[in-house]
Structure 1
Amino acid sequence: MCFNETNGRISKLMSMIKALPINLSNLQKTVLQQIVRGTTNPYRLVRRAKLILAAASGESNSSISRRLELDLVQVRQWRSRWFEEREKLSAAEEQQVTEKALMVLIKGILSDRPRPGTTKSFTVEQVVQIVAIACEECEKSDRPVSHWTASELADEAIKRGIVEKIAPRSVGRFLKRSDITTTSRSLLVKCQN
């Protein structure tokens, strides 16, 4: 059996799976329509809102996939995620949350979930403390170097207990981001001048 035959059979089986029913309250529908009409909403959020509205109107997954130019797996995924969150949405409406609070909840449901392997995020305070170290003279930290490098700064931040661990690459990004002029020189160069 070749790949195309197998793929065709899988597609045929997948198309026979009944789509999960999506039922929207009037308020949910209103909020989703506001997301679709919003001019500042991210494109992916708008497409996902359109997907849920189409699913609620009875449109098939394959039809939604073609119309919104999404992979069929994506359509099933977002339909399934909405279906899983239906109780949370109902509970929020029973508690008579505001339209604004429901909007936040719906945007959360339609947002990407954190993916495994993403880098650890650092607080603003940690970043500021690391940048402050970069502005110090190396000799004050008993470092046998003439200037700070990203590796030296990462080691010093760990030594001082600012962070448990940090990659030199992350330190380099912090320093590059803190450069508010259009020059390509980094903060390390500025502090040493």
Structure 2
Amino acid sequence: MVSPFRIVLDDADRVELERRVRAGNTAQKVVLRAVIVLMAADGASNAVIADELGICVDTARKWRARFYAKGIKALADAPRSGRPPVYTPTEVARVKAWACELPAEHELPLSRWSAPELARQLLIDGIGASASTVRRWLAQDALKPWQHQSWIFIRDPRFEAKATVVLDLYARSYQGVELGADEYVISADEKPSIQARRRCHPTQPAGKSRPMRVNHDYRRGGALAYLAAYDVHRATVFGRCETTTGIAPFTALVDQVMAQEPYASAARVFWIVDNGSSHRGRAAIDRLAARYPNAVMVHTPKHASWLNQVEIFFSIIQRKVLSPNNFEDLDAVERRLLAFEDRYNATAVPFKWRYTTTDLHRHLERLDHHDRTLQAA
């Protein structure tokens, strides 16, 4: 029987169908449909096509008719409705609502949600979703209630004023006047309780497909404190090791710096410190001024040690010198710290400090808006 759907191919359609047949990455079902149409265009009947390709006549008739009606685009799979959703949008929204509430608000003995705990709670509500399903739903809105982050509101009413002084000094300005060539800015602090952990077995260096290996067991060899003063604009570190922190060790650090040039004869040397007990309050300011009239102590606001640039150097110390901790004794710790100090000073450049008073003001405005929003809620 002759098909009523006579296929006539133009050059473009034939080239495209032959390309699909030859391409090595074409799906086999697509190749079959293209061959059916090409054979039909060459005059083969549906029966001949079916016999040649080993398919049923209905298959040949189907794709001949589809191509006749809509062309090449008809050879693609028709859109399907798919499996109906198991969960309603309301149920998914309920899951996300649970995730955005603290478990304690519902008198549950949990500190935070996990995907399995949420799935368990939903089961009580009559929603039988697995933990992996819950995690997938939460991922749609980047919700991770099992994670937590600490934060703190600023309590110092003069936070901005105090922080501005520090940031201005980093920009070489003090009380609206540019610093002179003989004025210096020192950032100082202590890193306490640095332990000497003597590993029970030697550390093994890295090898092929294997990181450096450090034995877990160790014997304690005591602890010391590392005090450092960092010249912000000259990128020079002055450090010392002490058995503990306190007024006397910090004074020794100040003496170490102020006894040498260019600080001894400088017009002013600004010492930026946090509110640690070694240099806290008005007493510390007066004590420093009495000992060195050209020294000016400037405190960062409370809970703002991140404004102290020496903390960046301490983070470098932690990464490059102290981790992993494997020292025979405290003398070995001290030698390593002081040797690294020399190595650092040989090539150091000032930190690229980009946080300005403008950034500070914007930051505080955001926090103030957030505070007012929470209070209104």
TM-score by length of 2: 0.27
Rg bigger for which structure? 2
TM-score, normalised relative to structure 1: 0.48
Q: Hey, which of these two has a bigger chunk of strand by percent?
A: 2
Higher helix share: 1
